[in-house]
Structure 1
Amino acid sequence: MTTKITLTSGIIGLMSVAAYSVNADAKPLEFYGKVDVSVQSSEEGEGRFTEMKSNASKFGVKGDYALEDGLIIVYKLEWQVDVSDDSNEKNLKSRNQYIGLKGNFGEVRLGRHDTALKMSQGKADFFSDYEADVKTLWKGENRVNDSISYFSPIYAGFGMQLTYVVADAADADDALSAAIFYGDEGLKQSNIYAALAYDSEVNGYDTLRASAQFKLAEFTLSTMYQRQEDITTQLDRDGYLVGVAYPWQKLTLKTQYQVMDDDNGASVGVDYKLGKNSQIYAWYSSFNFDLAEDTDYLAVGLTHKF
């Protein structure tokens, strides 16, 4: 009963926002999403099996509203949905959800949000949301509650992001994530993107991450370095990632290699563009772990953005 009430409340809330957006002074409300489903052959140490995966499929609404004195209200409500599994209370998962204020000073967002360190990688992870996502070996891919995010204006290609996470309890500590970056993460307006980010006491870790992407002829080169420390055990670990992507007609060929101390993973994949917002893909990933069973995965999938 609680789940039904929660979902009903969410639907009513969305309808209210949609109704508000038709105000003559408001900009149109944008409804968006992505459906990504793959059939996957997995080996995780106990024998190979076939499964179907919903890879961060999501939907949401976002928009802004002009106020006086050059100020703009911004908002986003986004959910992740598992379209491959049975319907249950875990089918919907909250993603970035916030309200904020934008002006000449930059932009401030209040709510649930990806940290500055997580966002700093841009598009450097060619296998994001799949088994070879950087979070498989690295810490730092955090979406935090009770956060205040600040995005600075862009000056000469440089920008800054800060994420302040309030403790929300007497026996807890506040946390901070910060990043500085240069260039365009989509590499559409520049041939280079670079970022340096640091987490302080975010989900039990202090983390330093450097990311960069380059365009060299038709190739896109990606590289990342990370050093992380467990605050409780004070165990330090470091690693790196390198990747290459090459477009050819409707295909994009890509490969990626990631290391964290004695753990490592390698991936190869190909995307085939069916249209502006749709593609089919195939990839293979293999991981070697020092203290756990080795794994490997082979997947074929279809994705569409709307």
Structure 2
Amino acid sequence: MNLHKLLLFVGLICTQAMADEQSQGEFYAKLNVDAQSSDKGDGRFSEIKSNNSWIGVKGDYQIADAISVVYRLEWKVDITGESGSDSLTERPQYVGIRGGFGELTLGRNFTALWMAQGKIDLYNHYEGDITKIWKGENRLSDVASYSSPSYHGFNVKLTYQAEKSENGDSATSAGLFYGDANLKKSPLFAALAHDFDVNGYDTTRASMQYKMGQHVIGGMLQQQEPADGGDSQSGALVSYSFNAGNMIYKVQYQTLEDDTTFNLGLDYPLGDNTKVFAWYAQIEKEDNPDNKFLALGFEHKLSYKF
């Protein structure tokens, strides 16, 4: 699907929704691009990269007392055009119902273990993303996802991937969560999750993030091993950010046995929806040349409720 067809499709959804008195959802987008100086072991070169840029529509629509339809259609957008005709790729796309029993959706979605990271990975989708040395950052197709109602701040999330064929294998991800990943309803977010044979790995992740005024500190512990046997690997991550008002400073360090990543950067907000950012990332993996990156970029968000 190209961008023109996508915008036409979203426009038709919004036009239909405007004919109804009940608010149904939100069209949203995020554009994030940077200029990078990159060194992957064979010399330094320049790049213009589209990072966590996406476009989508999401919402809910009440169909009965305390019962609503929920949906989300989201695509990653390669603004720089490196992907050619495949500049749009699927992100979460699902439909389901929400009520006093919780929320159940069918489609394409993140695993419970992925959601256990909350906002602790300060460099998600950049070069220093935790996926560089950790397993578990999975967004699966053919899944049923369930999120329970909150009880004293706790809730359970389950993700089940269907076998797809008589010779296929199913996969399950489950987690126990506390608090709010955005740290708006509670200053504490914590999670414990496990992947059962998800993309060939059994993975356990424990995470916690706490906000103290303008300071936010987070940490994660992870153990992963091939589901069909193999060596188990363990690692840890710690991240810290400080909001100085006109500048947000961020630092992050991650390990997996002898592999490490280190990220250091800052954000300079230009209003509520726009920012300039800069960061440095270093990735050290055993038996691989060190990767080093330096970037300066821009991000802008937009949304339209209908």
Query: Do they superpose with TM above 0.5?
Result: yes
Answering whether residue 116 of structure 2 is matched by residue 120 of structure 1, we say yes
SS at match of 1:89: helix
Following the alignment from structure 2 to structure 1, what is the Cα–Cα distance between the partners of residues 45 and 99? 52
Which is bigger in relative contact order (C-alpha 8 A, separation at least 6)? 2
SS at match of 2:197: strand
- Which residue of the partner structure matches residue 101 of structure 1? 97
Answering whether residue 62 of structure 2 is matched by residue 70 of structure 1, we say no
Deviation at 1:26, TM superposition (A): 3.5
* Gap change, CA 1:50 and 1:158, over 3 Å in 2: same
* Gap change, CA 1:191 and 1:264, over 3 Å in 2: same
Contact 1:26/1:64 (8 A) holds in 2: no
| Percent of aligned positions that are identical | 42
Q: Over residues 197-254 of structure 1, what are the superposed CA-to-partner deviations in whole Å (9 max), with x where a residue is unaligned?
A: 0000111000000010012343211100000011234221110001111111210111
- Which residue of the partner structure matches residue 33 of structure 1? 29
Two-structure CA RMSD over aligned residues (Å): 1.7
- Which residue of the partner structure matches residue 186 of structure 1? 182
Answering whether residue 205 of structure 2 is matched by residue 209 of structure 1, we say yes
What is the identity, as a one-letter code, of the residue corresponding to 1:185? A
Answering whether residue 225 of structure 2 is matched by residue 196 of structure 1, we say no
Q: After the TM superposition, which residues 205-284 of structure 1 pair with which residues of structure 2 at under 5 Å, given as runs?
A: 205-284=201-280
* Gap change, CA 1:272 and 1:293, over 3 Å in 2: same
- Among candidates 168, 171, 178, match of residue 175 of structure 1: 171
Q: Over residues 74-110 of structure 1, what are the superposed CA-to-partner deviations in whole Å (9 max), with x where a residue is unaligned?
A: 1111001111125722201010001010111011111
Residue segments in structure 2 that go unaligned for 5+ positions in a row: none
Answering whether residue 13 of structure 2 is matched by residue 46 of structure 1, we say no
Residue segments in structure 1 that go unaligned for 5+ positions in a row: none
Following the alignment from structure 1 to structure 2, what is the Cα–Cα distance between the partners of residues 62 and 252? 29
Between 273-282 and 180-189, report the one with greater CA deviation: 180-189
What is the identity, as a one-letter code, of the residue corresponding to 1:47? G
SS at match of 1:18: helix
What is the identity, as a one-letter code, of the residue corresponding to 2:290? D
Give the 4+ runs in structure 1 shifted more than 6 A. none
Contact 2:34/2:296 (8 A) holds in 1: yes
Following the alignment from structure 1 to structure 2, what is the Cα–Cα distance between the partners of residues 252 and 87? 32
Deviation at 1:25, TM superposition (A): 4.8
* Gap change, CA 1:29 and 1:217, over 3 Å in 2: closer
Aligned residues: 302
Contact 2:24/2:61 (8 A) holds in 1: no
Answering whether residue 107 of structure 2 is matched by residue 111 of structure 1, we say yes
- Among candidates 71, 75, 85, match of residue 89 of structure 1: 85
Following the alignment from structure 1 to structure 2, what is the Cα–Cα distance between the partners of residues 21 and 235? 53
SS at match of 2:10: helix
* Gap change, CA 1:135 and 1:86, over 3 Å in 2: closer
Q: Which TM-score applies when normalising by structure 1? A: 0.94
SS at match of 1:40: strand
* Gap change, CA 1:23 and 1:254, over 3 Å in 2: same
What is the identity, as a one-letter code, of the residue corresponding to 2:280? Y
Contact 1:99/1:111 (8 A) holds in 2: yes
Following the alignment from structure 1 to structure 2, what is the Cα–Cα distance between the partners of residues 217 and 113? 33
Following the alignment from structure 1 to structure 2, what is the Cα–Cα distance between the partners of residues 63 and 29? 4
